[in-house]
C-alpha cells in the first residue's frame, strides 16, 4: 500500500472543480448532469449540460428515482462555502483506494466472499453501523418556498389591490374615509392569506401523492447473501454485499467489479454527461477513482453485458451522494398546460388593463371636469381594483393544481403512476401509441413449445419423452440441443427452489433465456447444473438487440459430459484443450453462418440450400403461428485455433471471427408468449378513442403480424409492404397536399422490418405514419427512436416498453410508459409506470382527457359572473352616469368566495361518457381557451346573467320610486329624491344584483359540468359513474357567504349591503332554470346534428 500513496497524492492534485468564471451550460430537459472533461489524468466537474443535449439514442439520461442536481456558483460568502465543500469533496474522492486494491483484498477488507456474499447476521449489523442506502434529504429553501405560497398565482395582484384600497381609505379618503373601503381592503388581505394557505395545502397534498408514487416503485437489486441469490430493495444493501448486475439494471451503490463479461458497458451520463458508454473491467484502468473502469458508480446503468461487484460505499458516501451535497435542485420548465393557462391569463390581463385604462381616460377626460362629485379619486381607485379583481380568475390556480393532483391520485388508485403532473396533462392529447410486444401486449411468460432437429420436429413434451428413452446415449440429438440450451444461456435457476417443479422454480434472467433454460431443465432435472459444472466459460457476448445473437465459449473440465453435448464423431475427436463455441440467435442472422447441421439421428451433414430452405419454411411456419424462433448452433475450436489469452481483446476478436463461419446448426426452438387476456378490449377501446396503436417489436414480420391480428391491432385482410409506399409524390395527386394533416389517416395495414425502415425517404415516412394499422418488426433501439420521432411530426406519441432497448424511445416520446415488471432503465426513462398491465393505459388516456375537459369547465364557469357580469356595472356607471349597481365589495365576494369554491369542485368531475369515443385533442390546435368557450361564457351565459341582473336591480329601483330615466346620464342621485333613501335603495339593488348572480351561477355550475352530455345523461347524483357530491357543499358555501355578507346587521352599514326581498331569491331560480334548459337544448342540438353550426360553436 505504501507504493500507492504517491499516486494517490498526485491524484488529489489532479481533481479540480470548475473555476467560478467558467461558462455554465443549460440544463437539459430539467434533469442536469455533471460533465467531466475527457482526459487520462484529470477530471473536472462543471455545470450541468455544458456539452449540450445528449441524443437519447446514445445516452439514456435518468428521469426518476435518482437525485437530480446542478452545481451552481454563487457570490460572496456562499461562493467561499461552496469552494470549501468542493475542495473537501475532491480530497475525499482522492482518498478512495478501492479501485487500486486486488479483488481478493477488497473481499478481505469488507469481510465478504465473492461466492457466498455476506451472512444475514453480518448484513443486520452493517445496517446498524452504516445506515440505509439512501441520500440525505436536500436542504429546503424555506424563504423561497413561503414566498411562493403567498405570491404565486394572483397573490401579488391581490396584495397590490389591498394596498391601493387601504390608501383609498386613508389618506386619500380623508377627511371622510369610507369604512367600506377599509372593509374591502381587509377582505382582500384575508383572501391573500387564504390563497396562500390553499397553496400550502396543495403543495403538501401533491408532495404526498408523488411520495406515495415513489414508494410504490421500490428499487430492486440482485444480491448474494448466505450463498443464495435474492432480490432486495436498493436501500437495504450494505458495504460488502455482492451484487449481480445485468443489462438494464441500475447500480444501487458504488461497487468494485470482481467479475465482468467481455461486453459489459455502463451509461454514466447521469454523472459525467458523456454519451459514450463506458466498458467495465476487473483491473483498474486509471489511478483516478472517477475515471477507472473497475468501479461502478451509484445511479449509472448497465446497458449491456453483465458483471458482479462488491459494494464499497452507500448513501452519502457514494460519489453520487458526495456531489449531491454541493448542489441545488434544478429549475423546472413550464409545462404545456402552464403555457396554455399563461396564454389565457395574458389575454385576460390585457383585456383587464385595457378596460382600466378606458375607465381612467373617461374619468379624466370627461367625468372629472364635468361631474367632479360623481366619482372621486378614492372611488376611482376602488373601481379600478374591482375591475382587476373581477377579470382575474382567482380560483383558476387552485383548480389547476387540484385537478392535476386529484387526477394523479385517481390514476394511482388504478395502478397508473405518473412521475410528474406534466404527464397527466400530455396524456389527453395522445393520438398514437407505439407499443412493444413482449411483456406489454403479451404476458412475458415465455415457454418453449416446439423444437426441430434436422428433419425431425417435435413438441416440448415429445422431446422430454425422447430424453427419457435415449438421453444417455452418445450423440443423442435432443441431448445435444439440451446442452446448447443450458450452456448458451444467461439465465440462472434459483438454487433455493431445487425441490419445486420446473414450472414453479424462479429463474433469474430475461424471458427468452428463461424459457429456453426451463426447457433444458424440463428435459432432465438437474441437467443444467451438471452441464455447467462440466464446462468452464472462457468468453461471453451477451445478447443485444443490435447483434440479435449471444455467444459463449467453453473449455471442458469433465470429459464424461462431452458425449451429451456433441455427436459421436465430435466426442471422439474432442481434445483436452479444444474449445466449444456456442451461439444462439435469430435465424435471419445465424443461418448464413452455418455450414452443417445436426441430423435427426444425431450426426452432422452439410447444410445445403435445400436444407436451408427447409429450415426457413419451418421458421415461417412457427412465426405464422405467433411463435418466436431461435437457432442454437455450435463450433468446435481445436487446440491452436486461438492462441491469445482468455480475457484479452485479441481473444475476443478471435472468438467473434470464428463465430462468423462454419457453424453447426444444432436445432431450432419455438417460443410462445401468450397474449394478455385483456389486450383485445384495450385495443378496441383505444381505437374507438381515435388512438392508433403501432406494434414495435424485434420479432420476425410473420410473428409480429400474427400476434397483431390476434390482438386486434391489424384487422385488414391485406397487409401492405414497403413496396406500397411511393418514393416520390404523384404530381397529379392533389391529396398529397393533405399528407401533413395528421387527421388524414389511411384505413389500411402495413408491416415493415427494421432494415426496410432505414431505406425510407421523407415522403415514404409521411405516407407510412398515416396508416391506421402499422407493425414494425425486427427493430433496433435506434429504429424505435426513429419511429417515435417520425410520428411526433404530426402526433402526440406515447411509447410503451419494458426492456433496455426501449429506453431511448421511452425517453424521446411525449409520454414514455413503462411496465412495473420492466427493467430499471426502462422505468427510469419513462414518464409513467403501469404497475399491473397494459390495460391501465385506457384509464391513463381517459383521465388525461378529463383533466383538460375539467379545466375548460372551470374557466367556462368562472368567466360569466366572475368577470363579465361584474365589469358592466362599473362601465355603465362611468360611461352612462348610472349608479354602480354592484358594489366593489360584493364583486370581490363573488370572485374570491362564492365562485372560487364551486370552480375547485369541478376538478372532481368524472369522465363524460363520450370521453373515449371522440378523437384526441390536437395539442397544436385545440387551445384551452378558444373562441367557442369565449362565445359561450361571454356571449351567451354572460350576456344573459348581466341583462337579467341589471333588469332585476333597476326594476326594483323603479318599483321603489327611482325611475331609470332619472338615473340614465344622471351622474349622481336625482335632486328630487332623499339622499339617504336613494342610498338605501341603491344598496338593496346592489344586493339583488349580487343574489341574482350567485343563484344563477348554481345552475351554470350544473350546465358547465358537462360539455356535450345532458344532465340526465350525466347526473350529478345517484350514479356512481357520474356523480359529484362536492358540488352541493360548494353551493351551500356560496349561499352561506351570501347570507353572511347580506344579512348580518352589524356588517350592513359598514359594507353597504342589505337583505333582499324574498321574491328576489325566487326570480334567479327561474332564470337559472331557464339558462340550464337553454343549455340542455344546445346539447340536444349538438347530439342531433353533430355537423351543424351549434356543434361547430360548441366549446
Q: Which residues are catalytic?
A: 436
Residue 237's contacts (CB-CB under 8 Å, 6 or more residues apart) are 133, 221, 223, 243, 252, 253, 311, 314
151's torsion region: left (phi>0), alpha (psi -120 to 50) or beta?
A: alpha
* Nearest CA among 890, 866, 1026 for reference residue 399: 866
| Cross-strand pairs, 539 | 553
* Nearest CA among 644, 455, 476 for reference residue 570: 476
Hey, is 43 helix, strand or coil? strand
Q: What are the start-end ranges of the H helices in 134-173?
A: 142-151, 155-169
DSSP for residue 728? S
| Cross-strand pairs, 797 | 432
Say how many CA atoms lie within 13 Å of 318 toward its Cβ: 30
Instruction: Please give the C-alpha separations between residue 678 and each of 673, 675, 685, 775, 839, in angstroms, as whole numbers.
Output: 15, 8, 11, 20, 7
Burial of 506: CB neighbours in 10 Å, binned 0-12, 13-18, 19+: middle
Residue 239's contacts (CB-CB under 8 Å, 6 or more residues apart) are 110, 126, 130, 311, 312, 313, 314
How large is the C-alpha radius of gyration of the chain? Answer: 36
Burial of 6: CB neighbours in 10 Å, binned 0-12, 13-18, 19+: exposed
Question: Is residue 695 within 8 Å of residue 775, measured between CB atoms?
Answer: yes
| Residue 794 burial (CB count, 10 A) | 20
Question: Cell triple for residue 259?
Answer: 467479475
Question: Is residue 534 within 8 Å of residue 558, measured between CB atoms?
Answer: yes
Question: Cell triple for residue 918?
Answer: 371522440
Question: Is residue 376 within 8 Å of residue 133, measured between CB atoms?
Answer: no
Tallying the residues shown for the chain, one arrives at 1099
- How many angstroms separate the first and last alpha carbons of the chain? 76
DSSP for residue 147? H
CA distance 343 to 355: 18
Helix (H) or strand (E) holding 692: strand 692-696
Q: Where are the beta strands (DSSP E) in 409-548?
A: 416-418, 432-436, 447-453, 456-459, 492-493, 507-508, 535-541
* Nearest CA among 865, 907, 914 for reference residue 890: 865
Residue indicated by cell numbers 452432422: 604
Longest dimension (CA), the chain: 129
Question: Is residue 139 within 8 Å of residue 185, measured between CB atoms?
Answer: no
* Nearest CA among 425, 437, 416 for reference residue 839: 416
**Cα 142 from chain centroid?**
28
CA distance 314 to 316: 6
Burial of 661: CB neighbours in 10 Å, binned 0-12, 13-18, 19+: exposed
Question: Cell triple for residue 538?
Answer: 472462457
Residue indicated by cell numbers 383521465: 847
Query: How, if at all, do strands 432-436 and 447-453 pair?
Result: unpaired
Residue 940's contacts (CB-CB under 8 Å, 6 or more residues apart) are 1078
Hey, is 540 helix, strand or coil? strand
Amino acid at each position: 500500500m505504501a507504493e500507492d500513496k504517491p499516486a494517490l497524492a498526485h491524484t488529489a492534485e489532479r481533481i479540480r472543480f470548475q473555476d467560478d468564471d467558467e461558462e455554465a451550460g443549460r440544463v437539459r430537459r430539467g434533469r442536469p448532469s455533471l460533465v467531466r472533461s475527457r482526459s487520462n489524468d484529470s477530471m473536472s466537474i462543471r455545470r450541468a449540460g455544458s456539452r449540450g443535449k445528449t441524443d437519447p439514442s446514445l445516452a439514456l439520461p435518468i428521469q426518476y428515482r435518482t437525485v437530480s442536481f446542478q452545481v451552481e456558483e454563487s457570490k460572496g460568502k456562499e461562493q467561499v462555502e461552496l469552494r470549501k465543500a468542493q475542495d473537501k469533496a475532491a480530497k475525499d474522492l482522492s482518498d478512495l483506494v478501492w479501485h487500486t486494491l486486488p479483488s481478493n483484498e477488497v473481499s478481505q477488507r469488507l469481510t465478504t466472499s465473492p461466492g457466498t456474499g455476506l451472512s444475514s447476521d453480518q448484513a443486520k449489523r452493517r445496517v446498524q453501523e452504516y445506515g440505509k442506502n439512501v441520500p440525505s434529504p436536500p436542504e429546503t429553501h424555506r424563504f423561497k418556498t413561503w414566498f411562493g405560497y403567498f405570491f404565486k398565482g394572483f397573490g401579488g395582484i391581490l396584495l397590490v389591490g389591498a394596498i391601493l384600497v387601504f390608501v383609498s381609505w386613508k389618506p386619500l379618503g380623508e377627511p371622510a374615509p369610507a369604512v367600506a373601503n377599509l372593509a374591502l381592503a381587509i377582505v382582500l388581505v384575508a383572501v391573500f392569506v387564504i390563497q396562500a394557505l390553499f397553496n400550502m395545502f396543495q403543495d403538501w397534498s401533491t408532495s404526498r401523492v408523488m411520495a406515495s408514487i415513489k414508494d410504490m416503485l421500490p428499487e430492486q437489486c440482485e444480491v448474494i447473501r448466505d450463498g443464495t441469490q435474492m432480490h432486495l430493495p436498493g436501500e437495504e444493501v450494505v458495504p460488502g454485499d455482492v451484487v449481480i448486475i445485468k443489462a438494464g439494471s441500475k447500480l444501487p451503490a458504488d461497487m468494485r467489479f470482481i467479475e465482468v463479461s467481455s461486453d459489459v458497458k455502463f451509461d454514466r451520463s447521469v454523472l459525467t454527461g458523456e454519451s459514450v458508454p463506458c466498458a467495465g473491467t476487473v483491473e483498474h484502468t486509471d489511478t483516478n477513482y472517477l475515471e477507472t473502469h473497475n468501479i461502478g458508480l451509484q445511479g449509472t446503468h448497465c446497458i449491456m453485458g453483465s458483471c458482479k461487484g462488491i459494494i464499497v460505499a452507500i448513501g452519502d458516501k457514494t460519489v453520487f451522494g458526495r456531489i449531491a451535497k454541493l448542489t441545488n435542485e434544478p429549475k423546472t420548465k413550464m409545462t404545456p398546460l402552464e403555457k396554455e393557462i399563461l396564454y389565457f391569463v395574458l389575454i385576460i390581463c390585457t383585456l383587464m388593463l385595457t378596460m382600466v385604462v378606458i375607465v381612467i381616460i373617461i374619468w379624466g377626460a370627461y367625468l372629472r371636469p364635468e361631474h367632479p362629485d360623481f366619482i372621486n379619486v378614492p372611488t376611482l381607485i376602488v373601481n379600478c381594483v374591482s375591475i382587476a379583481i373581477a377579470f382575474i380568475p382567482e380560483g383558476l390556480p387552485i383548480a389547476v393544481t387540484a385537478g392535476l393532483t386529484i387526477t394523479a391520485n385517481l390514476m394511482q388508485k388504478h395502478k397508473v403512476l405518473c412521475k410528474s403532473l406534466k404527464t397527466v396533462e400530455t396524456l389527453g392529447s395522445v393520438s398514437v401509441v407505439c407499443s412493444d410486444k413482449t411483456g406489454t401486449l403479451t404476458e412475458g411468460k415465455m415457454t418453449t413449445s416446439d423444437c426441430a432437429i434436422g428433419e425431425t420436429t417435435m413438441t416440448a413434451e415429445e422431446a422430454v419423452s425422447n430424453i427419457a428413452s435415449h438421453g444417455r446415449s452418445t450423440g443423442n440429438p435432443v441431448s445435444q440441443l439440451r446442452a446448447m440450451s443450458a450452456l448458451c444461456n444467461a439465465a440462472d435457476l434459483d438454487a433455493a427452489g431445487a425441490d419445486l417443479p420446473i414450472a414453479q422454480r424462479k429463474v433469474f434472467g430475461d424471458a427468452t433465456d428463461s424459457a429456453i433454460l426451463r426447457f433444458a431443465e424440463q428435459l432432465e432435472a438437474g441437467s443444467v447444473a451438471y452441464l455447467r459444472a462440466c464446462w468452464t466459460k472462457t468468453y461471453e457476448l451477451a445478447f443485444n438487440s443490435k447483434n440479435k445473437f449471444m455467444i459463449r465459449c467453453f473449455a471442458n473440465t469433465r470429459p464424461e459430459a462431452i458425449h451429451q453435448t456433441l455427436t459421436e464423431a465430435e466426442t471422439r475427436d474432442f481434445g483436452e484443450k479444444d474449445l466449444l463455441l456456442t451461439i444462439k440467435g435469430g435465424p435471419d442472422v445465424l443461418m448464413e453462418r452455418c455450414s452443417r447441421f445436426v441430423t435427426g439421428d444425431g450426426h452432422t451433414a452439410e447444410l445445403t440450400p435445400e436444407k436451408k430452405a427447409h429450415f426457413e419454411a419451418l421458421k415461417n411456419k412457427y412465426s405464422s403461428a405467433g411463435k418466436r424462433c431461435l437457432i442454437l448452433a455450435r463450433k468446435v475450436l481445436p487446440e491452436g485455433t486461438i492462441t491469445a489469452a482468455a480475457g484479452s481483446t485479441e481473444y475476443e476478436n478471435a472468438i467473434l471471427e470464428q463465430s462468423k463461419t462454419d457453424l453447426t446448426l444444432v436445432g431450432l426452438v419455438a417460443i410462445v408468449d401468450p397474449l394478455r387476456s385483456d389486450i383485445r378490449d384495450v385495443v378496441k377501446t383505444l381505437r374507438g378513442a381515435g388512438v392508433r396503436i403501432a406494434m414495435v417489436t424485434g420479432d420476425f414480420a410473420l410473428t409480429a403480424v400474427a400476434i397483431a391480428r390476434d390482438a386486434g391491432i391489424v384487422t385488414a385482410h391485406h397487409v401492405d409492404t414497403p413496396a406500397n409506399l411511393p418514393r416520390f409524390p404523384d404530381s397529379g395527386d392533389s391529396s398529397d397536399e393533405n399528407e401533413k394533416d395528421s387527421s388524414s389517416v389511411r384505413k389500411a395495414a402495413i408491416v415493415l422490418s427494421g432494415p426496410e425502415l432505414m431505406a425510407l425517404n421523407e415522403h415514404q415516412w409521411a405516407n407510412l405514419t398515416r396508416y391506421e394499422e402499422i407493425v414494425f418488426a425486427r427493430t433496433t433501439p435506434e429504429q424505435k427512436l426513429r419511429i417515435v420521432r417520425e410520428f411526433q411530426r404530426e402526433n402526440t406519441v406515447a411509447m410503451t416498453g419494458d426492456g433496455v432497448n426501449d429506453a431511448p424511445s421511452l425517453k424521446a416520446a411525449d409520454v414514455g410508459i413503462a411496465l412495473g415488471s420492466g427493467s430499471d432503465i426502462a422505468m427510469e426513462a419513462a414518464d409513467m409506470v403501469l404497475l399491473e398491465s397494459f390495460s391501465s393505459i385506457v384509464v391513463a388516456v381517459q383521465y388525461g382527457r378529463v383533466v383538460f375537459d375539467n379545466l375548460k369547465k372551470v374557466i367556462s364557469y368562472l368567466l360569466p359572473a366572475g368577470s363579465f357580469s361584474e365589469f358592466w356595472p362599473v362601465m355603465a356607471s362611468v360611461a352612462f352616469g348610472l349608479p354602480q349597481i354592484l358594489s366593489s365589495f360584493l364583486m370581490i365576494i363573488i370572485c374570491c368566495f362564492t365562485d372560487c369554491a364551486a370552480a375547485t369542485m369541478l376538478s372532481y368531475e368524472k369522465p363524460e361518457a363520450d370521453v373515449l369515443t371522440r378523437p384526441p385533442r390536437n395539442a397544436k390546435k385545440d387551445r384551452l381557451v378558444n373562441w367557442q368557450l369565449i362565445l359561450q361564457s361571454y356571449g351567451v351565459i354572460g350576456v344573459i346573467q348581466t341583462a337579467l341582473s341589471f333588469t332585476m336591480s333597476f326594476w326594483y329601483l323603479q318599483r321603489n320610486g327611482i325611475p331609470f330615466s332619472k338615473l340614465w346620464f344622471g351622474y349622481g342621485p336625482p335632486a328630487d329624491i332623499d339622499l339617504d333613501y336613494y342610498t338605501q335603495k341603491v344598496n338593496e339593488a346592489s344586493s339583488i344584483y349580487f343574489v341574482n348572480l350567485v343563484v344563477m351561477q348554481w345552475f351554470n355550475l350544473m350546465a358547465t359540468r358537462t360539455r356535450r352530455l345532458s344532465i340526465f345523461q350525466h347526473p350529478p347524483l345517484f350514479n356512481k359513474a357520474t356523480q359529484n357530491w362536492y358540488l352541493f357543499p360548494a353551493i351551500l358555501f356560496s349561499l352561506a357567504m351570501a347570507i353572511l355578507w347580506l344579512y348580518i346587521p352589524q356588517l350592513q352599514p359598514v359594507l353597504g349591503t342589505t337583505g333582499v326581498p324574498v321574491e328576489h331569491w325566487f326570480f334567479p331560480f327561474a332564470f337559472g332554470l331557464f339558462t340550464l334548459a337553454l343549455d340542455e337544448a344546445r346539447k340536444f342540438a349538438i347530439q342531433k346534428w353533430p355537423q351543424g353550426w351549434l356543434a361547430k360553436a360548441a366549446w
